C-alpha cells in the first residue's frame, strides 16, 4: 500500500512525501482536476460569497451574483490566457465588481476575506470521497488545479482529502497554469513519468481536456449532467462509470 506521511510546501509545488511500492507497477498516473471534478466549488462559492456579501451589506441576490460572476469569469479567462497574474486576480475581480455596482470598498481586503471564506467552506461533490476511497492504494493519484494556493490547501485539509494524493500541484505555485502545456510538463517531470503513462481527468474542456491534448496526455472528461467532449479520449458521466473506465485503461 501507499503510505502518506507529511505535506511539504516549496516555491515550485506542494506535495506529499510517500513510499511507492510495487502496488503501482504498470499503473498510469491519475491527474485529477479539483473543482467540478472532485470538489463542489459551486456550493463552496455560494457559502463564501453569501458570507462576504453579508459582511459588506451587499444584497445576495441574482443580480449581484451575476455581476460578480461576470467580473470573476473575465479575470479567470485572462489568467488562463496569461494576461493576468494570480496575485492580481485575487483583488482585480472585486475591483471590477465594485466598480460595476458603484461601491468604493477595498478590493484587496475583499479578495483576502473571500479567499479565507472559501478555504473554510470546502465541500466535496456527492460520492467523491467513496470514489477516492475505492481507488486509493491501487493507483498513483495527484491533484492538478488552477485554484488559488491558499484556498486550495485550506480546502484539501478541511475535507481531509490530502491523504488520497501523492502530490498536489497548484498553478500559483508552479508558475504556469492549465491549459498551458508547460503546466503538464512540469507535473510529469516532478512525478518522474512521461505523457504516455498519465491520464488527465477533469470537467473543464478548455483547461483540463484541451490542456491534456496540448501536452499529448490521454484524458477523461467527467460531466455529471451528461455533456460529452469530442476532444477527450474518453467520457464519463458518473463516478461509477469513471472508476470502471480507469480500471480498464489505467
Quick: pLDDT tens for 140-185: 999 999 988 988 999 999 999 999 999 999 999 999 999 999 999 9
Give dist(CA 239, CA 185) in Å, integer: 27
Using the 3D structure, point to which of 104, 119, 134 is the last residue of a domain: 119
Q: What CATH number is associated with residue 55? A: 1.10.150.240
The answer to whether residues 97 and 219 belong to one domain is no
Taking the alpha carbons of 47, 51, 53, 57 in that order, is the dihedral positive or negative?
A: positive
The answer to whether residues 90 and 208 belong to one domain is no
The answer to whether residues 211 and 143 belong to one domain is yes
- Catalytic residue, chosen from 23, 35, 66, 233, is 35
Amino acid 23: pLDDT: 65
Task: Please indicate whether residue 62 is annotated as part of the active site.
Answer: no
Q: How confident is the model at residue 20 (pLDDT cuts 50, 70, 90)?
A: very low
And the C-alpha cell for 1? 500500500
- Catalytic residue, chosen from 33, 180, 203, 208, is 33
Give DSSP secondary structure letters for 211-231. Answer: HHHHTT-EEEEE-TT----SS
Using the 3D structure, point to which of 119, 146, 171 is the last residue of a domain: 119
The answer to whether residues 21 and 144 belong to one domain is yes
Q: What CATH number is associated with residue 27? A: 3.40.50.1000
State residue 158 phi and psi, 5-degree precision.
-65, -30
Average pLDDT over the chain reads: 90
Does residue 60 or residue 9 have the better pLDDT? 60
Q: pLDDT at residue 22 above 90?
A: no
Q: What percent of the chain has pLDDT over 90?
A: 83
The answer to whether residues 163 and 230 belong to one domain is yes
Mean pLDDT, range 55-66, rounded to an integer: 97
Task: Please indicate whether residue 130 is annotated as part of the active site.
Answer: no
Name residue 141's beta-bridge partners. Answer: 30
Task: Decide: helix, strand or coil at residue 150.
Answer: helix
And the C-alpha cell for 241? 462509470
And the C-alpha cell for 196? 504516455
Number of domains comprising the chain: 2
Amino acid 6: pLDDT: 31
Does residue 119 or residue 186 have the better pLDDT? 186
Using the 3D structure, point to which of 78, 102, 119 is the last residue of a domain: 119
The answer to whether residues 138 and 199 belong to one domain is yes
User: pLDDT tens digits for 190-232?
Assistant: 999 999 999 999 999 999 999 999 999 999 999 999 999 999 9
The answer to whether residues 237 and 144 belong to one domain is yes
The answer to whether residues 49 and 151 belong to one domain is no
Tell me which residue of 27, 46, 30, 9 sits closest to 150, measured CA to CA. Answer: 9
Full residue range of the structural domain in which residue 203 is found: 3-40+124-249
User: pLDDT tens digits for 236-247?
Assistant: 999 999 999 999
The answer to whether residues 23 and 54 belong to one domain is no
Q: How confident is the model at residue 66 (pLDDT cuts 50, 70, 90)?
A: very high
Amino acid at each position: 500500500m501507499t503510505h502518506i506521511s507529511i505535506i511539504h510546501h516549496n516555491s515550485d509545488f506542494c506535495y506529499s512525501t510517500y513510499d511507492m511500492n510495487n502496488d503501482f507497477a504498470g499503473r498510469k498516473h491519475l491527474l485529477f482536476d479539483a473543482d467540478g471534478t472532485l470538489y463542489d466549488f459551486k456550493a463552496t462559492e455560494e457559502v463564501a460569497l453569501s458570507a462576504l456579501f453579508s459582511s459588506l451589506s451587499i444584497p445576495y441576490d441574482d443580480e449581484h451574483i451575476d455581476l460578480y460572476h461576470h467580473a470573476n469569469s473575465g479575470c479567470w479567462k485572462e489568467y488562463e490566457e496569461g494576461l493576468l497574474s494570480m496575485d492580481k486576480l485575487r483583488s482585480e475581480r472585486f475591483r471590477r465588481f465594485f466598480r460595476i455596482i458603484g461601491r468604493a470598498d477595498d478590493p484587496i481586503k475583499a479578495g483576502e476575506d473571500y479567499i479565507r471564506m472559501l478555504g473554510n467552506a470546502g465541500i466535496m461533490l456527492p460520492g467523491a470521497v467513496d470514489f477516492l476511497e475505492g481507488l486509493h492504494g491501487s493507483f498513483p493519484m495527484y491533484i492538478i488545479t488552477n485554484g488559488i494556493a491558499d484556498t486550495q490547501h485550506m480546502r484539501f485539509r478541511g475535507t481531509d482529502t490530502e491523504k488520497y494524493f501523492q502530490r498536489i500541484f497548484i498553478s500559483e505555485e508552479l508558475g504556469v497554469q492549465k491549459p498551458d502545456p508547460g503546466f503538464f510538463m512540469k507535473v510529469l517531470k516532478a512525478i518522474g513519468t512521461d505523457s504516455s503513462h498519465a491520464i488527465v481527468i477533469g470537467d473543464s474542456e478548455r483547461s483540463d481536456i484541451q490542456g491534456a491534448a496540448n501536452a499529448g496526455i490521454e484524458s477523461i472528461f467527467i460531466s455529471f449532467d451528461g455533456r460529452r467532449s469530442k476532444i477527450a479520449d474518453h467520457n464519463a458521466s458518473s463516478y461509477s462509470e469513471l472508476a470502471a473506465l480507469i480500471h480498464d485503461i489505467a
